[in-house]
Amino acid sequence: MYYYLIIALQVFCVYHWFKNRTDYYWLFLIILLPALGCVIYLLTQVYNKRDVDKIQKELTTIINPTKKVKDLEKTLEFSETFQNRVNLADAFYDIKDFNNAIKYYEDAIAKDFHNDKHVIFQLIKSYYFLEDYTKVVLYAKKVKTHIDFKGSKAQFFYGLSLDKIGELSQAEMQLRFIDQRYSNYEERLMLAQFLIDKNKVSEAKTLLNEIYTESQYMTPVNKRKYKTTIRQVEQLLNTL
């Protein structure tokens, strides 16, 4: 039992390290000193940032990623409500099973709640990851006037999808809403690459310089989290 607990803790700590891009020495500490390394990592990098319940849920999800889905399937069988369908769809989305996520999202809004914001936003993202750009555009048009759509990830995927189907001017207009200072670093990097591809190198360079300048004032947590993104920004700047 003790052995399996240590393995589970190692898996969680490595997952958390990879997700948050903390310094490499943590990875060596977790692997070379399993029990002590995991305890130190949890106390310094996890415990003071997340509550215990969330840690337990993440650990359970890593060990058995389908457990939440199975539990929610039973809940839906017992009570076929809109919210239970959405909860199950969200669980499928979280494990990147976008086909099943779409099935339950669309079931949820088939009769009522046709323009439920959360469901439509999730459908936009799910269809984008499945590269069904026409469906992304279709659903985005249902919520594009919603106040929360402006500057959202859903709007960003809408812009990327417009680009894929050849509506270039509309795509750029939608993508530019993601350019918000001190946030959306990964998306803004993608926007810069989009501008470069459209021969707007000067605008892309300005955007990249803004991201790099902002990175100098990041908190230690965000510096670790966005380390790879900032490195890519620097590399792209060096090529321009």
What would the pLDDT profile of 183-207 be if each residue is shown by its tens digit? 999 999 999 999 999 999 999 999 9
Q: What is the pLDDT of residues 118-168, one digit of tens each?
A: 999 999 999 999 999 999 999 999 999 999 999 999 999 999 999 999 998
Angle between helices 67-78 and 52-63 (to 10 degrees): 100
Sign of the CA dihedral running 136, 138, 143, 144: positive
pLDDT at 64 over 90: no
* Per-residue pLDDT at 141: 93
Question: What confidence category does residue 19 fall into, taking pLDDT thresholds of 50, 70 and 90?
Answer: confident
**Distance of alpha carbon 200 from its chain centroid, rounded?**
27
**Rounded to an integer, what distance in angstroms lies between the CA atom of residue 155 and that of residue 140?**
7
Q: What is the pLDDT of residues 75-104, one digit of tens each?
A: 999 998 999 999 999 999 998 999 999 999
Q: Across residues 49-70, what is the average pLDDT?
A: 63
* Per-residue pLDDT at 47: 59
| Residue 130 DSSP class | T
Q: Across residues 23-37, what is the average pLDDT?
A: 72
Helices (H), the chain: 2-20, 24-32, 34-41, 52-63, 67-78, 82-94, 98-108, 117-129, 133-143, 153-164, 168-175, 185-197, 201-215, 220-225, 227-239
Residue 44 near residue 11, CB atoms below 8 Å: no
Residues with Cβ within 8 Å of 197's Cβ and at least 6 positions away in sequence, in order, are none
**Rounded to an integer, what distance in angstroms lies between the CA atom of residue 31 and that of residue 34?**
5
- The letter for the amino acid at 58 is E
- The letter for the amino acid at 124 is I
Q: Across residues 33-62, what is the average pLDDT?
A: 64
**Rounded to an integer, what distance in angstroms lies between the CA atom of residue 116 and that of residue 196?**
36
**Rounded to an integer, what distance in angstroms lies between the CA atom of residue 126 and that of residue 104?**
12
**Rounded to an integer, what distance in angstroms lies between the CA atom of residue 20 and that of residue 90?**
22
Of 30-39, 104-113, 124-133, the range with the highest mean pLDDT is: 124-133
Residues with Cβ within 8 Å of 68's Cβ and at least 6 positions away in sequence, in order, are 60, 61, 91, 94
